[in-house]
Chain A
Amino acid sequence: MSAPAERRMIFKHIDEEGYSNDIDCYLKNGGYEILKKAVTQKPEDIRDEVKKSGLRGRGGAGFSCGLKWSFVDRKSGKPIYLVVNADESEPGTFKDRYIIHQDPHQLIEGTMISCFANDVKQAYIYIRGEFPEGARILEQAIQEARDKGFVGKNILGTDYSCDMFIHRGAGAYICGEETGLIESLEGKRANPRIKPPYFPAVLGLYQCPTIVNNVETLCHVKHILEMGADEYLKIGTPNNTGTRIFCVSGHVKKPGYYEYACGEITMGQLLYDVCGGPLDGREFKAVIPGGSSAKVLRFGEKFTLKNKDGSTRELGVEDIPLDFDTLAACGTMGGSGGVIVMDDSVNMVEALANINAFYAHESCGQCTPCREGSLWMKKITSRMVHGEAREEDGELMKSVADQIAGRTICAFGEACSWPTQSFVLKFGDEFKSYQDDKQKASAGKLELV
């Protein structure tokens, strides 16, 4: 089988020869035309169009963007804020940074359209601290757009005004969680808020209704308005519309970012045909399909899925179409589109030790299960890889993970427990035999002490 053609919509100009990130280049390529069109429309019509398009959030949860906008409390009399979530921190994900670095005006246009559609008077771009260059580029791009009347007072000569500011994070994964982001934006420690009552659509930034959308999601809004929801619906599969950007990293010949219509390409096509397959002499062992928090898939495992007519079909990992729903049905998620590939050179205990170290470091420490559980799991895997593994460690760790997932303030509880749950479930033998395997492997070898 060969892969379908790449469909570059969001990434149309990424890495394009001669395309620069200044406003002149953007305007030359038809930039801000959609915003010009949008401000002549009724805001609710734009919202309807986005709802109709079936656009799902590209940040990780895949929640309907139109629905999210519909939750906004428009009767409170308080200002409505829109916050661009550019805190792209999920390990394995590197899509938003390319939009920001190479096509920042696409983001600004998509954001301003979304602001107009939701009667937002003030937008913020929350960008992770590790993107200083991105922040600088956006700062400049916003100023260019402001000078041309696309941002700020009386946009395009209308009586609609909306300004946009950059806010740089200080380097914390949890700031990607929308309520943690809001706390951080307010100048506080990024402890996610309890929901209820603090749903951002009602009590968000400064206790006002707030929309938090991912960078890529807002870019999609521009394209939805450009082609119309009906055309947009034709891209991808039902309930999984539009394109998705896959950030493939790890053990493939051609890692990188690829944009495809959602669900039109399978995991096998992506890894073998697009990314050139495994490295020479190696075999694929496992793949994490949506950023490090998504549950791992083991090559060779089979999934039995229900069809609409009630019949069932069996899928291997290679057969999974890369959309939101099928990946969810296979027990994992499309997440942020970060596809992390591991071949047979990887020891799964060591891979998990790496992931656990990340989540233990990034837990905000607010609520008990995540705070204590993530570090405990890290301590177990680091003890294991430092030569003191026990047979029962895998099961113990899974039981710790089970005590976290579903019991925390925010989704970090799932993010830190899903890797452990899935690694132990699918590679349990490797956890049991880790000590023996290591001893066998190191037998006769000299080790530096």
Chain B
Amino acid sequence: MIQPAKPELVTVNIDGQEVEVPKGINVIEAARMVGVDVPHYCYHPKLTIAGNCRMCLIELGMPAVDRATREPIMDEATGKQKINWIPRPQIGCGTNVSPGMHIKTQSDMVKECREGVMEFLLINHPLDCPICDQAGECKLQEQATGYGRGYSRFIEQKNVKPKRTQLGPRVVLDDERCVLCSRCIRFSQEVAKDDVLGFVDRGSYSTLTCYPGKELANNYSLNTVDICPVGALTSTDFRFKMRVWFLKQTNSIDTESSVGANTVVWSREGVIYRITPRQNDEVNDTWMADSGRILYKQVQSDDRLLPAGSLADNLAAASALLKDGGVAVVGSGRSSVEEQFFTARIAKQLEAKSCIVARHGEGDGILVSADRNPNTRGALVTGLITGLPATELTELAADIDAGAVKTVLVVGEDLTAAGLSADQLAKVNIVYLGFHANATSAAAKVSIAGLTVFEKSGTYINQQFRLQKFASAVPGLAGATDDRVVLAQLLAAVGGETTGSDLASVWSALSREISVLDGLAYAQLPDTGLLLDSTAWSGLAFPEGETLHYQPATAEATA
């Protein structure tokens, strides 16, 4: 594992407390490090500084030095260096810490500034919290409670602005709620590189809008909803579906590509309502693609493979076919590391060739990579494959045509999509395990219903060889069994070494048998993942181009 360089520290004084913080960070972050909350709206750690909301005003002082001699001026009363306090409040977001800086976040002046800004933000803000989707996760609500005066002096008419503008296919705008922080504008410019948002009109009549003739339609548009501190931008998919305080949050991983964006799955009573990004500064910062947010719909999709027959009967039928010999194993780059581990062991036990199906698309350079399997690296690490996979299973097709294969164990994939014909499928016995029904499951002799990523727990290894874990957010489909358990039992049924199928047992086997996983345990994995030693696979020409925090190895070498 590579350790990041230790930052240079400076000593600053926050509310009378001397603390050491990394040089160059701003006052909001410095205060956050010592548990002091500096309220803000427009500041976002992953965007440029705008300094427009004025909520983070603080009092700032610098140690006094003699102008001529540069000698420190001492305060005789305290024996310490005198502090020159700036009479005007300064913005915490735009002020970077420097040695000896003094910061007051709780003084009367700061308190008064916050009360003033809160009052100003609320005078033209509609009081529609009871019907506002942001209620419960609204910075305006929270900070009005924390830093506002609690009463209104405003008796004039509030401004009237558009209430429901469809900015794009997935984002709705309520301009009256907008506090004009410009986070969404900066996000669109700086991260999504799709400069379509801006303000028109001026003063208090300033209105967020899309450039005429354009719409906010890029694949990152829903991040603007996440970073909107108020209820101005809401998700067309999620709005009015559920109050956020009823929702349970489960850490998960975006499976749409090998980037492996960290996510939170929001669910209630076994139903998922939305997916939002989870901060991981090494992978996805605080962002994720819109395309990854709708994946929860596969839980209740029409093409789910429904359980048929008992698991014991299915396993018996499957193992009978598999033990008959002439087996080929088609694993999946969408399976978890644990599932791939068992798939690989089954292949080994049956002395079968194993492969996975590659899935390629165009990388967007941000958070969707060219490798659309979330766990190609997992297949390499677990030994399910030894080289890069292909999109077409030509070798398997040839083996079937040559009569060398009698039974194919397929995990999740559709062989017809991987280049096999219906005739070829008809020539072999198919044992299928997966969560959705397809041509392969239809042709299978034995088909076992599995679970989606949201219904099970495990790990993936992303393009950086970062091992990341996900947990089950909702219970699995009634009658379906966790793929990992199915595979473990299938392994036992074909005479393989029996290992417990619970995660702790699987991980004790993984850490014992796979050198790069040595010493690791599922329960101990950090939420933001762990970088593995990837030198064993450094010679492979992976298909991914550059993404947010990933440089292809070849590019690194030439750079």
Question: Which of A's residues lie within 8 Å of B, judged by CB?
Answer: 172, 189, 191, 194, 196-197, 360-369, 371-376, 379-380, 383, 396, 399, 403-404, 406-409
Contact = CB atoms under 8 A, between A and B. Distances in A.
Nearest to A196: B94
Given A372-B124, A407-B54, A407-B116, 15 more contacts: A360-B204, A362-B203, A365-B199, A365-B203, A368-B179, A372-B120, A372-B123, A376-B120, A376-B123, A380-B156, A403-B120, A404-B116, A406-B89, A407-B89, A407-B117
Interface in B337-391: none
Nearest to A403: B116
Contact of A379 (B54, B121, B156, B202): B156
A172 B52 CA distance: 19
Interface in B66-124: 87-89, 91, 94-95, 112-113, 116-117, 119-121, 123-124
B151 to A, nearest CB: 13
A240 B54 CA distance: 35
Interface in B143-176: 153-154, 156-157, 159
A288 to B, nearest CB: 22
Nearest to A388: B155
B204 A375 contact: yes
**Quick one: which of A368, A369, A408 has the most chain B CB within 10 A?**
A368
B205 interface: yes
A379 B94 contact: no
B157 A172 contact: no
B422 interface: no
A366 B50 CA distance: 9
B511 to A, nearest CB: 49
Contacts of A409: 51-52
B476 interface: no
Nearest to B206: A365
Nearest to A190: B202
Interface string B179-204: 11000000000000000001101111
B286 to A, nearest CB: 22
A360 B54 contact: no
Contacts of B206: 365, 371
B153 A368 contact: no
A293 to B, nearest CB: 16
B398 interface: no
A407 B55 CA distance: 10
B62 to A, nearest CB: 13
Nearest to B119: A403
Interface residues of B, number: 38
Contacts of B157: 379
B106 to A, nearest CB: 17
B534 to A, nearest CB: 39
A349 B49 CA distance: 39
A142 to B, nearest CB: 31
A404 to B, nearest CB: 8
A365 B201 CA distance: 9
Given A379-B156, A379-B157, A368 B120 contact: yes
Contacts of B55: 368
Contacts of A367: 51-54
B57 interface: yes
- 9 interchain residue pairs of minimum CB distance: A403-B116, A365-B206, A372-B120, A379-B156, A194-B51, A375-B204, A363-B203, A367-B52, A365-B203
A295 to B, nearest CB: 18
A189 B207 CA distance: 13
12 contacts: A194-B49, A361-B202, A368-B54, A368-B180, A369-B116, A371-B204, A372-B121, A373-B120, A375-B205, A376-B156, A403-B113, A403-B120
Nearest to B115: A403
A361 B203 contact: yes
A418 to B, nearest CB: 15
A190 B366 CA distance: 31
A62 B60 CA distance: 26
A108 B435 CA distance: 77
A196 B49 CA distance: 11
A111 to B, nearest CB: 30
B52 A376 contact: no
A274 B547 CA distance: 72
A379 B203 CA distance: 13
Contacts of B124: 372, 375
Contacts of B123: 372, 376
Given A194-B94, A365-B202, A407 B180 contact: no
A305 B204 CA distance: 40
Contact of B202 (A172, A372, A399, A408): A172
Given A379-B157, A403-B120, A368 B52 contact: yes
Contacts of A368: 52-55, 117, 120-121, 179-180
Contacts of A407: 54, 57, 88-89, 113, 116-117
A409 B204 CA distance: 16
A363 B52 CA distance: 13
Given A194-B91, A194-B94, A368-B121, A396 B203 contact: no
A409 B53 CA distance: 10
A364 B116 contact: no
A385 B315 CA distance: 86
B54 A369 contact: yes
Contact of B54 (A361, A374, A383, A408): A408
A366 B204 contact: no
A361 B57 CA distance: 26
A404 B54 CA distance: 10
B156 A365 contact: no
Contacts of A399: 153
Nearest to A392: B153
B47 to A, nearest CB: 14
A365 B120 contact: no
A173 B119 CA distance: 26
A403 B117 CA distance: 8
A374 B199 contact: no
A403 B337 CA distance: 58
A372 B204 contact: yes
Contacts of A365: 180, 199, 201-206
Nearest to A413: B54
A58 to B, nearest CB: 25
Given A372-B124, A403-B119, A363 B202 contact: yes
A369 B203 contact: no
Contacts of B153: 396, 399
A194 B91 CA distance: 10
